[in-house]
Structure 1
Amino acid sequence: MYAEERQQAMATQVSAQGRRSVADLAQDYGVTTETVRRDLSVLERLGLVRRVHGGAVPASGLTSLEVTLGERGRAQTEEKRAIARAALDLLPPAGASVLLDAGSTTARLAAVLPEGHALTVYTHAVPLLTRLVSNPALAVHVLPGRVRQTTRAAVGPDTVAALADLRVDVAFVGANGVSLAHGLSTPDPEEAATKRALVSSARRVVALADASKIGVDAMVRFAGLDDVDTLVTDSSVDPAQRRALTEAGLEVVVG
């Protein structure tokens, strides 16, 4: 692969995933970390990416590109499994209620919910339903709304209104970006409105986000860090970013 082809591929990958580390890019393209840093410097001068500690994010730092649920499901799969397992320790007691947001990481949590732990579960995510209803310990409720093709999740006024009437014990939410300055964010305004209502409907909020989302700002903010009790991420999270989030008052759990 020529340098120009590699750099174009890197720019596309950073745009699609929101953040890529130098180490991951070096492994993906079979080059040294020094080569990746030079490539990222070229891309930054061209205005295609923005260099950050340990990697790169989309040029504006505010990514509006929204990948499909299937594409997200194929990214960071092992990390998302680890996050889901760690999130099990944050489940409320048997008999309590939870709310599961749409997303590839929350889908993995839905798949590992224990069959001996009775819960009332609300969700607006169509892909989670098969996994949830197959668990005999769960009483599953589906929220109304228009289902978006990209995320296969119900959104819109009906979804927001239904969430306003709920008060669940714990909400597990996903995000496209988590940062000190912008909080939790997502590219789509309707998704953001639904997530905002979801956060407001819970006594405790747990965010599930792999390390590639940390330090990233998507276009629409739906929650501040002070709206979230716990962030569960994976072991590749940058230590400096984890420390900064902790110092901001957010509990960070590493799966």
Structure 2
Amino acid sequence: MYAPERQQEILRLAREAGRVEVVLLAERFQVTAETVRRDLTALDRSGLLRRVHGGAVPAGRLGFEPDLTAREATAADEKDRIAAAALAEVPAGGSVILDAGSTVGRLAAALPVETALTVVTHALPVAARLTDHTGIDLHLVGGRVRHRTRAAVDAWALRSYAEIHADVLFLATNGFTAEGGLTTPDLAEAAVKRAAIAAARRVVLLADSAKAGQERFARFGSFADVDLLITDTGLAPAHKAAIEAAGTEVALV
């Protein structure tokens, strides 16, 4: 395959997936990582892609945010395993904050009906999954609801989180790197996530490995804020080592 053909295919893959990674592209096209980096640099100079750590995203995609339906269908098996593993981190009879996110939503769905727990969430889909759990003392944080995530944001939500101290926060993110921390496309969502981190004694990040190396527009935390990352076995060893060096425990499932 000639370079222009390969670059056109890379651009197509980036537009479909929202991101491409150097290592995976090298394997796909049976070329060296350096060849892929040259392709990405050429596409970046053309204004078609933007280089990020470990790969590239379509131009303007640092602010790209798939809707909840699309995220629910992505990496479904990995998210199910992560949610199942996260059940072990739920404190018996304690209090938790459930963030807005498709993997955290799976955790909510996995909670047994008889669970005795205090749950605080600003995510409408999470709350809806727990309304029939009579043992759960459910608190729904209010605010302006973002249609893309079905999550409450802005001042009302921030004030609510400032008034509580939960045992565990189950946190979601759109992207993470050991150096750049945790990011999401929307500033209002980032502010609520930051407030939720401050409201919890322990923070457990639930994120599939496809989000590793991804950087979005709004930064809301670092791995110094995270006690445990639960992710899938697709996480690259280099990412795992860097995150553990930052002091965060990493569980691969």
TM-score range, shorter chain: 0.7 to 0.9
Q: Does 1 or 2 have the higher relative contact order (CA < 8 Å, sep 6+)?
A: 1
Q: How does 1:149-228 map to 2 (within 5 A)?
A: 149-228=147-226
- Looking at structure 2, the residues matched to 13 and 36 of structure 1 have their Cα atoms a distance apart, in angstroms, of 21
Q: Which moved more, 1:67-76 or 1:157-166?
A: 67-76
Q: In the alignment, what sits opposite 1:67?
A: 66
Amino acid of the residue matched to residue 43 of structure 1?
Answer: L
Contact kept in structure 2, 1:40 and 1:51, CA below 8 Å: no
1:62 Cα deviation after fit: 8.2
- Looking at structure 1, the residues matched to 132 and 26 of structure 2 have their Cα atoms a distance apart, in angstroms, of 41
Task: Give deviations 1:149-191, integer Å, cap 9, x for gaps.
Answer: 1111000000000110011110101011111222111110000
1:137 Cα deviation after fit: 2.7
Which of 42, 45, 59 is 2:42 aligned to? 45
Contact kept in structure 1, 2:14 and 2:20, CA below 8 Å: no
Q: In the alignment, what sits opposite 2:12?
A: 9
- Evaluate the alpha carbon distance shift between residue 37 and residue 11 of structure 1 in structure 2; reply closer, same or farther with a 3 A threshold: farther
Per the normalisation by structure 2, the TM-score is 0.87
- Looking at structure 2, the residues matched to 79 and 163 of structure 1 have their Cα atoms a distance apart, in angstroms, of 29
- Looking at structure 1, the residues matched to 61 and 15 of structure 2 have their Cα atoms a distance apart, in angstroms, of 15
- Looking at structure 1, the residues matched to 63 and 241 of structure 2 have their Cα atoms a distance apart, in angstroms, of 27
Amino acid of the residue matched to residue 31 of structure 2?
Answer: E
Q: Secondary structure at the match of 1:116?
A: coil
Q: In the alignment, what sits opposite 2:57?
A: 58
In structure 1, runs of 5+ residues without a counterpart are: none
Count, aligned residues: 246
In structure 2, runs of 5+ residues without a counterpart are: none
Amino acid of the residue matched to residue 99 of structure 1?
Answer: I
- Evaluate the alpha carbon distance shift between residue 39 and residue 225 of structure 1 in structure 2; reply closer, same or farther with a 3 A threshold: closer
Which of 238, 241, 247 is 1:240 aligned to? 238
Runs of at least 4 residues off by over 6 Å: 59-62
Q: In the alignment, what sits opposite 1:102?
A: 100
Task: Give deviations 1:176-231, integer Å, cap 9, x for gaps.
Answer: 11112221111100000000001100011111111111122211111121111111
Contact kept in structure 2, 1:19 and 1:216, CA below 8 Å: no
- Looking at structure 2, the residues matched to 33 and 105 of structure 1 have their Cα atoms a distance apart, in angstroms, of 33
- Looking at structure 2, the residues matched to 184 and 62 of structure 1 have their Cα atoms a distance apart, in angstroms, of 16
User: CA RMSD, aligned part only?
Assistant: 2.6
Amino acid of the residue matched to residue 197 of structure 1?
Answer: A
